[in-house]
């Protein structure tokens, strides 16, 4: 089948906080029509220190994702056989020169040497570049923020988010792995920047499922839902040089499997059976597949939309409010095909391509 490609989106975001200069370009992405069958290549990248889904849970998760994508987007998804790899092997594929460039965007919370004002400025730049409306963003976050008067600007809102993000990120450092040591140890496996850079390697997958907790702070691309969770990313869709859709997804099962005292969903009264854990992970994975196949944005606070992010990792609460009839494709700017196209840095891609 011949695929047409989309090079210009309806709402294009060459994310300025990454660097909106001429070195940034949009990736070409195939136009996926309703009724199309698409194949997604899958890898399971594991950290042996952390709990993993069983093979049966993985099967249920992917079946749930298929059903949710079909119901909400009208596309048939076929997943390949799931390959297995350790995270250490996976991260070894990241081009070293590109990674050296990207490390400057990491807020080093482990050593305590991060620049908080720079973090606030970065959040403000991200919200501004993505066209976030102050009223919508604050309404989405307000139930999960300290009691405070409404911020008068995106910058003030960004400062509030950075405070909450760093406080809650420190709480994640108290979570222990099966070996009794902290989940967030000296390894970089939790760092979102590393996962975001992985696509500059020759990654032959469209979906990387991991049991790793991805919780960190960055000077770029911090979104509201990640900030209020303490820097936790359940998943991200980002540029991939070998991606069939111009991007790849990383997907963390950790928030679904974690039952520590810090788990936000437990504090919200949500406990899951093994089957429901897998089903909810798959349903929410459909959110990322919406980014991958259609480049949708985030309609913050529109609870009927599958593309509305879950706030405090309460996945059952999120799922019970999704109603595709009330949030069809194209009903909002964020739900328009091509709303947020993957972008890449031409200098980094050149570095990655050189021997």
Q: Each residue of 238-261: pLDDT tens digit?
A: 999 999 999 999 999 999 999 887
Task: Answer whether 80's CB lies under 8 Å from 42's CB.
Answer: yes
Tell me the C-alpha distance between 67 and 39, whole Å.
14
| 139 φ, ψ (degrees, to nearest 5) | -60, -40
Residue-level pLDDT at 208: 98
Tell me the C-alpha distance between 347 and 297, whole Å.
26
DSSP state of 300: T
Structural domains of the chain, count: 1
CA 16 and chain centroid, separation: 18
Q: Which of 154, 161, 138 lies closest to 300 in space, CA to CA?
A: 138
- Could you report the per-residue pLDDT of 79-123, keeping only the tens digit for each? 999 999 999 999 999 999 999 999 999 999 999 899 999 999 999
| SS3 (DSSP) at 83 | strand
| SS3 (DSSP) at 221 | coil
Tell me the C-alpha distance between 193 and 221, whole Å.
10
- Could you report the per-residue pLDDT of 143-160, keeping only the tens digit for each? 999 998 999 999 999 999
pTM higher than 0.85 for the full model? yes
Residue-level pLDDT at 10: 29
Render the burial of 121-136: b for 16+ CB within 10 Å, e for the rest: bbbbbbbebbebebee
Check whether 19 has a pLDDT greater than 50.
no
Tell me the C-alpha distance between 184 and 52, whole Å.
16
Which of 134-138, 266-270, 329-333 shows the lowest per-residue confidence on average (mean pLDDT)?
266-270
For 65, the domain range is 5-353
What tokens does 16 get? 């300025």
What tokens does 71 get? 């119901």
């Amino acid at each position: 089948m011949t695929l047409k490609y989309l090079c210009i989106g309806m709402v294009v975001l060459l994310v300025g906080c990454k660097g909106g200069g001429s070195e940034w370009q949009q990736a070409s992405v195939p136009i996926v029509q309703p009724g199309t069958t698409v194949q997604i290549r899958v890898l399971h990248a594991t950290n042996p220190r952390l709990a993993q889904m069983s093979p049966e849970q993985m099967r249920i998760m992917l079946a749930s994702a298929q059903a949710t994508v079909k119901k909400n987007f009208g596309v048939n998804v076929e997943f390949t056989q799931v390959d297995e790899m350790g995270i250490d092997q996976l991260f070894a594929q990241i081009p070293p020169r590109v990674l050296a460039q990207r490390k400057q965007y990491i807020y080093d919370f482990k050593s305590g040497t991060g620049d908080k004002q720079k973090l606030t400025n970065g959040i403000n730049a991200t919200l501004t570049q993505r066209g976030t409306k102050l009223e919508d963003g604050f309404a989405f976050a307000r139930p999960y923020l300290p009691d405070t008067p409404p911020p008068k600007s995106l910058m003030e809102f960004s400062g509030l988010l950075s405070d909450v993000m760093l406080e809650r990120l420190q709480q994640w450092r108290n979570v222990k792995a099966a070996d009794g040591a902290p989940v967030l140890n000296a390894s970089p496996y939790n760092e979102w920047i590393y996962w975001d850079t992985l696509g500059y390697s020759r990654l032959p997958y469209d979906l990387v499922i991991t049991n790793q907790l991805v919780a960190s702070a960055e000077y770029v691309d911090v979104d509201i839902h990640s900030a209020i969770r303490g820097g936790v990313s359940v998943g991200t869709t980002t540029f991939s040089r070998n991606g069939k859709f111009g991007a790849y997804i990383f997907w963390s099962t950790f928030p679904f499997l974690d039952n520590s005292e810090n788990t936000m969903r437990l504090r919200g009264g949500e406990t899951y059976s093994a089957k429901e854990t897998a089903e909810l992970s798959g349903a929410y994975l459909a959110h990322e597949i919406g980014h991958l196949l259609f480049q949708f944005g985030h309609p913050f606070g529109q609870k009927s939309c599958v593309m509305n992010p879950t706030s405090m990792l309460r996945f059952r609460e999120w799922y019970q409010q999704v109603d595709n009839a009330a949030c069809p494709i194209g009903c909002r700017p964020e739900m328009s095909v091509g709303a947020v196209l993957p972008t890449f840095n031409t200098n980094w891609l050149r570095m990655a391509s050189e021997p």
